[in-house]
Amino acid sequence: MKITKVIATAAVCSGVAFSASAQAQELRLLTWGGYAPQPVIDLFEKETGIKVKVTLSNNEDMISKLRATRGAGFDLAQPSQDRVASAQQEFRIYKPVDMSKIDKSLYIQSMLKSTQDSTSVNGKTFGVPHVWGTSGLIVNTASGKSAYSFADLCSEDYKGKVSYRLKRPTLIAFAFDMGEDPFAAYDDPVKYEKILSKVEDRLVSCKGNVKAYWSGGDALINLLRSGEVTLAMGWDAGGWKLNKENKDINYVAPQSGALGWVDTFVLPAKGKNDEAAYQWINFVNRPEIAALITSSAGQFTASAGAAAFVEEGLSNSYKASFDQAALDNIKWYPPVPAGLETLEGKVLDRIKAAQ
């Protein structure tokens, strides 16, 4: 369905009723790039009278901002599901979600339940799902290889042509590729540290393969687009975007399994406009609206039925990257125990400093 038709349909779609007191209020949203595109904001503001103020961020920055203010400054935030329970236990920066105010019928039910389970603390739910996706490999397939692994990032075949982030997903990816199960070791710090040590040695030994460590999606896409990099660890959406331009470049699920993530909605502990937050959550999960977000972010959402409104090209790219075996092999991030990221940060610092 064309975007103009989607917008027209969404504009007349019935929504959750809002009170007169909500009018002229502001929703302060802390989110990722592409998750709150202007057409969606315009439709929401027109329907509710609530102004939306967007601050773009990432996982580390979201936690840092909310820690600094003890959960103040925003009404709604979107950390990944593995950053909710542990952050709440350690910093008390969120408030529980009132599930009676969530339109649960809009969701893919299995994803809603899984996210509720993974974001629960003391029997209370602190997050609901929104956008999901995976980290794997973006490759120039002109080489003719039929299968890829994270180990290829250290292969002589790609020397000087590799890029990845110096962030925890890279450590996790290499651990799985080396036959370890880092998620199973989350509750055993000694075992986890041994796994990280093996990964550290591996990444230090092949630093010569790295053209550049990327920090933003646009920078990675430009490296691949120019041909400076021919193999990278990145998100599926980046690979699908490049595939539209160059059919030789695409996202591939590695043999050890792509890493799966879900970006959630959470209520900051000292947010001032919960009513507007719940209205936004329900609004963006309507299938027609969710399709607009998929078109903007390049990622699929937890909205049931939204796939029917997603443009055909993106749908085809998704099917090319994931057969059923690859989907079944996705390694979904569990909640991160408190203190684990400090340990990982030290490893990443040593890798960066190594000569």
User: What domains appear along the chain, each with residue ranges and CATH number?
Assistant: 3-132+261-318 (3.40.190.10), 134-260+324-353 (3.40.190.10)
The residue written with tokens 């309507």 in the block is 286
Rounded to an integer, the average pLDDT of 296-302 is 92
Q: How confident is the model at residue 279 (pLDDT cuts 50, 70, 90)?
A: very high
Give me the mean pLDDT over the 227-240 stretch. 95
Q: Which H or E run contains 53?
A: strand 51-56
Rounded distance between C-alpha atoms, residue 349 and residue 283, angstroms: 41
Q: Which amino acid is residue 298, in one-letter code?
A: G
Average pLDDT rounded to a whole number, residues 342-350: 96
pTM of the model: 0.74
Q: Identify each DSSP E strand in 70-145 by its residue range.
A: 76-77, 94-95, 120-121, 124-125, 128-140
Do the bridges between strand 231-235 and strand 162-164 make them parallel or antiparallel, or are there none, so unpaired? parallel
Q: Angle formed by the axes of helices 236-245 and 312-321, to 10°?
A: 120
Which of 21-30, 93-102, 308-317 holds the top average pLDDT? 93-102
Average pLDDT of span 235-242: 93
Report d(CA 293, CA 45) in Å as an integer: 16
CA torsion sign for 296, 301, 305, 310 is positive
Q: Kindly report, residue by residue over 71-125, the tens digit of the pLDDT.
A: 999 999 999 999 999 999 999 999 999 999 999 999 998 889 989 999 999 999 9
